[in-house]
Amino acid sequence: MATHDASRQGALRLRSRERNATVLSEELFFDLVYVFAVTQVSHYLLAHLTPLGALQSLVLWFAVWLGWQYTAWTTNWFDPGAMVMRGVLFAIMLLALVMASALPEAFEGRGLVFALCFVAIQLGRSLCMLWAVGKDSALRPNFRRLLAWNGVAALFWIAGALADGPLRLALWMAAVLAEYVSPMFGFAFPGLGRSSTAEWTIDGGHLAERCQLFVIVALGESILASGVAFGHQHAWHVPELFTLLVGFAGSLAMWWMYFDTSSKDAAHVIEHAADPGRIGARFHYTHVILVAGIIVCAVADELVIAEGEHHAGWAQVGALLGGPALYLLGNALFKRVVYGFLPQSHLGGLAVLVLLAWVATRLDIATLGALTTLVMIGVAALESVLRRRGRPQH
């Protein structure tokens, strides 16, 4: 039996913790399908700029994120360069591609396709991990609990796909909560006990880099949205060029705020944490908010370029203010994990966005977009100045 378990671990090799893990080309290739998935979420929100549409988009985004997040943890434990692990990654890619293709009609006729693909990703991955570690591994109890919660969520996903209207949304929200909240309680499950984050033997630097790469994926969607919308403009005069500048400057500010002021420190913190599993989990809790902000900002960029001269209604205001607000909130929580405090610059930026909401409907879309971009640039510049003046680093 010991020989059999060893052969399984050889097929899906556990990464060595004697040296820092690096992100391999297999993982970068895997991320390509999520470029498409993020684009699909962005386009769904753009086509459904209502409170209901926003809630539906949020559920769809969580499905995309959870599929990617759990796979990122898997490649942190298992070597993606091993042949069997490559097969697992490529199978997930194919399922994710079909899932993303079904996303625009997930709340209509392709809900079952969407749900079945997601369930196959989550259950299939967990079963592979459980099979790979063998009976004597210290990781096995954790993977059993993870599989149990994947199973609970699967029931809600499939039941929701078989339902219609508000019931589908409610059941899918329950499915998201089952998979997003359960790690906060150590995957506690009746009869299986609970895990401690200290047992999650992860490579912190690798996990931090994976999160950073997903931020790049999302920022790529923001740039893509601006370029496509600008390309569809019939005339390229000063007003059109101005709206393109607004979109590009906003993307640049988001990059600046994240990569210039905290990403390297984040990798250092998680690499040297006494409990890297705990810090790693917090990274994922905060990044889902942060990346959601980038997605909504991509929608705002399209609105600014395509409809900049129009008066801003509440639907447009929601995207133009909501995107930057989500990004600032997610980035503030992320920096709370890294530095131990909420940055005042981000809180100040959120306060300015609240003040803008009072006058937002009196402005045209381009002007409001320009003002929110100035807020983001101001926050990024202030963060950069504070960093270079020696703000406490951890």
Q: Is the confidence at residue 6, as pLDDT, over 50?
A: no
Question: If you average pLDDT over residues 146-154, what whole number do you get?
Answer: 94
Neighbours of 276 (CB within 10 A): 24
Least confident among 3-17, 85-99, 248-262: 3-17
Taking alpha carbons only, the member of 100, 79, 103 closest to residue 89 is 79
> Rounded to whole angstroms, what are the CA distances from 98 to 40, 104, 116, 195?
12, 11, 10, 33
Which one is predicted more confidently, 380 or 234?
Answer: 380
Task: Look up the CATH architecture of domain 204-388.
Answer: Up-down Bundle (1.20)
Report whether 49 contacts 303 (CB < 8 A). no
Question: Mean pLDDT of all residues in the chain?
Answer: 87
pLDDT digits (tens, 9 = 90+) for 163-203: 999 999 999 999 999 999 888 787 888 888 877 666 666 77
pLDDT digits (tens, 9 = 90+) for 292-323: 999 999 999 999 998 888 888 899 999 999 99
Cα 137 to Cα 299: distance, rounded to the nearest angstrom: 46
- Strand, coil or helix: 193: strand
Quick one: 51 exposed, middle or buried, by C-beta within 10 A (0-12, 13-18, 19+)?
Answer: exposed
Q: Is the confidence at residue 35, as pLDDT, over 50?
A: yes
Residues of the chain with CATH 1.20.1410: 204-388
Residue percentage of the chain with pLDDT more than 70: 90
Question: If you average pLDDT over residues 135-164, what whole number do you get?
Answer: 90
The structure tokens 């409907």 sit at 361
Q: Quick one: pLDDT band at residue 8, thresholds 50, 70, 90?
A: very low
Cα 201 to Cα 197: distance, rounded to the nearest angstrom: 8
> Rounded to whole angstroms, what are the CA distances from 376 to 108, 216, 306, 350?
36, 17, 21, 10
Q: Is the confidence at residue 5, as pLDDT, over 50?
A: no
Cα 331 to Cα 283: distance, rounded to the nearest angstrom: 10
Q: Which two tokens stand for residue 25?
A: 């080309």
pLDDT digits (tens, 9 = 90+) for 243-252: 999 999 999 9
Question: If you average pLDDT over residues 21-30, what whole number do you get?
Answer: 86
- Strand, coil or helix: 14: strand
pTM over 0.75: yes
Taking alpha carbons only, the member of 32, 58, 267, 265 closest to residue 173 is 58
According to the model, what pLDDT value does residue 82 have? 84
Which runs of E-coded beta strand occur in 152-227? none
Which one is predicted more confidently, 208 or 377?
Answer: 377
Identify the bridge partners of residue 189 per DSSP, sorted by sequence position: 193
The structure tokens 């504070």 sit at 386
* Rg, the chain, Cα only: 21
Question: Which contacts qualify for 230-235: CB closer than 8 Å, 24 or more apart?
Answer: 230/305, 232/306, 233/305, 233/306
Report whether 333 contacts 386 (CB < 8 A). no
Q: Is the confidence at residue 17, as pLDDT, over 60?
A: no
